Structure 1
């Protein structure tokens, strides 16, 4: 399911699986706008099949043979790359405190953290933010639009799908001339993302499509509102 169509399970598109643990009480609410469900479901089945027989087994193998310390270092490295996008969207959302935190994290983790292999910032109390241009548009008042299941990219909305294009400019891949190195780095990042999400697979219950759709939309609403969501109860 990333912001490039070549590999499934990107950081944001698959975050909905982890969101299931946080937003499970909300998933049972009234179904959100999904006028394209008849098209979305077959795409979801395709994505799920690709993940079941390709990406998930590879991620399980990676997790099995890779020492935990090395997995942590790889994960920290890609988190550090992602802080560039976080900082850009902190600025666009006029969040000076968060922008300052992410700037400090980038400087500390890139230098003292040896290129991001060690998360020095978190150890110093600088908690990582998680922003993207879709959330920025939401903060600016742009409605999410209908739910969309994108081939390989996974769950999204019209707003979030369009926002993936400018998000590409905050990632390092498009600025790399060495195609082999770029593709290897990108694939490793996707592998790390999928491996991180393996425990979340156990959270999915019932109709898998509905669970992931609702969890994704609840998670995005939660993030757009910085955790300040109205309790219908």
Structure 2
């Protein structure tokens, strides 16, 4: 186990370099850089089917059956397990304050919050400083790259997709080499899945409105993601042309003459839910 954990930091460097190389800047003046739209729409259609078949019913069941306190504890535990990675990203960004806050929050909630199911750290002012390797890449100057929609994971960009991959390698708990810590990591992964189900139930109306009631749910999801992510990253976002920032609105239907590509315009994408129609 120790040898495997030591290999993680070594794998970080080439993974980060590949991530940086994969992120290509948008052409000048481009507000939404989406050269893979046909493929993205096919993935979006797949994600909606996956939501219809699995995530939405599970969210409804969780909303009806799981007590609110237990649902909140699952979300808190999942968030706590992700704090070491956030602390390390803070260090990589040169943000010592955020790294210290996330580290202190993790230690305090793990020791005094029933391994992270409770949140006593909030009572002393230690609130989560949310970050990830996608933001680290942005701070390092990597461009946002093209918009992507990932199977099951949803909206992203080339930079953020690369960041999600590297975040798997960035979990400092992996480097400890303790069976107890490894078990904690496994439970944290399970809690993350539970968090997605719980939050799907909590935000049922909002998500349903976006996915099932929009005239073009793909365009709306893309717009919502890019605006929110660029607002979160601020000047570091490096968004093409500065568009779709928090103070700007990009109309996804502005080009009224352009027809949306068909969902089957990317034939290499295999939809396992196709037979359910």
TM score, norm. by length of structure 2: 0.65
Matched with 1:201 is 207
Please report how far the alpha carbon of residue 164 of structure 1 lies from its aligned counterpart in structure 2 after TM superposition.
1.8
Q: Is the 2:132–2:167 Cα contact (8 Å) retained in structure 1?
A: yes
Matched with 2:135 is 135
Separation in 2 of the partners of 1:37 and 1:183? 35
Please report how far the alpha carbon of residue 203 of structure 1 lies from its aligned counterpart in structure 2 after TM superposition.
5.1
Please report how far the alpha carbon of residue 173 of structure 1 lies from its aligned counterpart in structure 2 after TM superposition.
8.1
Matched with 2:82 is 82
Matched with 1:146 is 146
2:226 to 193, 196, 217: 217
Separation in 2 of the partners of 1:56 and 1:183? 24
Q: Cα–Cα, structure 1 residues 206 and 129, in superposed 2: closer, same or farther, change >3 Å?
A: farther
Q: Is the 2:141–2:236 Cα contact (8 Å) retained in structure 1?
A: no
List runs of 5+ in structure 1 lacking aligned partners: 1-29
Please report how far the alpha carbon of residue 180 of structure 1 lies from its aligned counterpart in structure 2 after TM superposition.
11
Separation in 2 of the partners of 1:227 and 1:125? 26
Q: Is the 1:173–1:186 Cα contact (8 Å) retained in structure 2?
A: no
Deviations 1:26-50 (A, max 9, x none): xxxx851111111110110001111
Q: Is the 2:75–2:194 Cα contact (8 Å) retained in structure 1?
A: no
Please report how far the alpha carbon of residue 65 of structure 1 lies from its aligned counterpart in structure 2 after TM superposition.
1.2
Q: Is the 1:176–1:182 Cα contact (8 Å) retained in structure 2?
A: no
Separation in 1 of the partners of 2:66 and 2:178? 27
Deviations 1:181-217 (A, max 9, x none): 9877634422322321441315524421111111111
Q: Is the 1:36–1:147 Cα contact (8 Å) retained in structure 2?
A: yes
Separation in 2 of the partners of 1:173 and 1:186? 12
Q: Is the 1:31–1:214 Cα contact (8 Å) retained in structure 2?
A: no
Within 5 Å, give how 1:1-233 maps onto structure 2: 32-171=32-171, 186-198=189-201, 199=203, 200-202=206-208, 204=210, 205-225=214-234, 231-232=247-248
**Alignment size in residue pairs:** 204
Q: Report the secondary structure of 2:50's partner residue.
A: helix
Separation in 2 of the partners of 1:100 and 1:181? 21
TM score, norm. by length of structure 1: 0.76
Structure (1 or 2) with the larger CA radius of gyration: 2
Separation in 1 of the partners of 2:246 and 2:189? 38
Separation in 1 of the partners of 2:191 and 2:113? 19
Separation in 2 of the partners of 1:108 and 1:163? 27
List runs of 5+ in structure 2 lacking aligned partners: 1-29, 238-244, 250-277
Higher relative contact order (CA 8 A, sep 6+): 1
Please report how far the alpha carbon of residue 101 of structure 1 lies from its aligned counterpart in structure 2 after TM superposition.
0.9
Q: Cα–Cα, structure 1 residues 52 and 102, in superposed 2: closer, same or farther, change >3 Å?
A: same
